[in-house]
Amino acid sequence: MKIKSAFENSYNQLLKNKELIIPFILIYLTAGVIFGIFFYASGTQELFKELYFLQNQYQKELLQGNQDFFINLETREDFLSKTNYDLAGKLFAVVNKSNLVFLVITVLVIIAGSFYFITASRVATSLVIKKKKLSIKNITLLTHKLFFRNLWLSIFLFLIFGFIGLGITIPIMSSLVFMDVIVNWEDFVLFVIITVILSFCAGIYLGIKLFFSEASLFLEEKTVFKSIKQSFAVSKGKKLNIFLLILFVWGIQVVFSMISPPISLDLFFSLTILNFIKTFIIAIMVLLFQGILSAFTTLFVFNSYLEFKKIK
């Protein structure tokens, strides 16, 4: 397989087109900024900041008292009552009708904005691979053209994987019930294990077959069903190699997901200006690294698609 070639091409393309990372950064930045606006404007930040401070105080008391770090909820409630902190009142002040409406609007805007930049990032990647000018005009025009195709593809893939479990569980469960096979818990546990294994295998198989549907849609500007058909055709006889490719990409995403959440929390809950500045600088570095990593993995997947496509 020419995975090495795809890797080298992706690396060189990213070096020559460093601006490619911008739409990838905007995916995460959009969600962070919009959520940050909600977090501060709704008063939620102040509540969490107070709870964050109290949690730190609580942990200090536990450590000073040489008690187990993981204490039950009752002890934590006793600590709050000792500090005369009105948690119920604070929660009722934040959880109100206007904030709930604000939250729904925020979530919808985050989803729409993030998905727009996801589409734009894939468009930019396809332009780099096809050696076309990476301009705002080109990206915008092609993003508008492919936005709804990408949306329908995403919905279609979500429904496919969402119904895998139901498609396997319902027939098996119905058969077992009508045949009076389930007579004890051992049989039920066995049924659950079999269902999970079958669902997992079906998910892996379809994941491999559909893996290149996005690459086909953006690189060749095909319709949703033609992209899916093309992905099935390209994956024929190459399932193991595509599975290893999926593991590589998934592994990178899992490792990085372990880094970013704690940094995001520290940024929101920083109690001092110095802490905030330090965390903000680290967050910028992480965001930059995340953009580079996302741009590279997308390039790698798209280039791998072209390499797999060459193999008959």
Asked if pLDDT for residue 79 goes beyond 80, the answer is no
* Three-class HEC string of 44-68: HHHHHHHHHHHHHHHHHHHHHCCCC
Longest dimension (CA), the chain: 72
**Residue 297 banded pLDDT, cuts 50, 70, 90:** very high
Residue type, 218: F
Distance CA 278, CA 295 (A): 26
SS3 content of the chain, % helix, strand, coil (to 5): 85, 0, 15
Asked if pLDDT for residue 4 goes beyond 70, the answer is yes
Asked if pLDDT for residue 143 goes beyond 80, the answer is yes
N-terminal to C-terminal alpha carbon distance within the chain: 12
Distance CA 294, CA 288 (A): 10
Q: Return the higher-pLDDT residue of 18 and 180.
A: 18
Radius of gyration of the chain (CA): 25
Answer for the pair 47, 94: CB distance below 8 angstroms, yes or no.
yes
Identity of the highest mean pLDDT range in 7-11, 74-78, 162-166? 7-11
Residue type, 124: A
User: Helices marked H in the chain — which ranges?
Assistant: 3-16, 21-41, 44-64, 73-82, 87-94, 97-129, 136-178, 185-210, 213-220, 224-235, 239-257, 260-269, 273-310
Whole-structure pTM value: 0.77
DSSP-assigned letter for residue 20:
G
Tens digit of pLDDT for each residue in 228-281?
A: 999 999 988 888 888 888 888 888 777 766 655 555 555 555 555 666 676 677
Q: What is the pLDDT of residue 265?
A: 54
Instruction: Tell me the C-alpha to C-alpha distance, in Å, between residue 268 and each of 28, 35, 44.
Output: 15, 11, 10
Residue 195 Rama label (left phi>0; alpha psi -120 to 50; beta): alpha
Distance CA 172, CA 184 (A): 16
Tell the burial category of 27 from Cβ atoms under 10 Å away from its Cβ (0-12, 13-18, 19+). buried
Q: What is the pLDDT of residue 69?
A: 44
Residue type, 56: N
- Residues with Cβ within 8 Å of 107's Cβ and at least 6 positions away in sequence, in order, are none
Asked if pLDDT for residue 292 goes beyond 60, the answer is yes
Distance CA 31, CA 298 (A): 20
Query: Domain residues of the chain, as ranges?
Result: 3-310
Distance CA 240, CA 231 (A): 15
| Nearest Cα to Cα of residue 91 among 40, 48, 39 | 48
CA dihedral 225, 226, 232, 233 (to 10 degrees): 160
Residue 68 backbone phi and psi in degrees, to 5: -60, 135
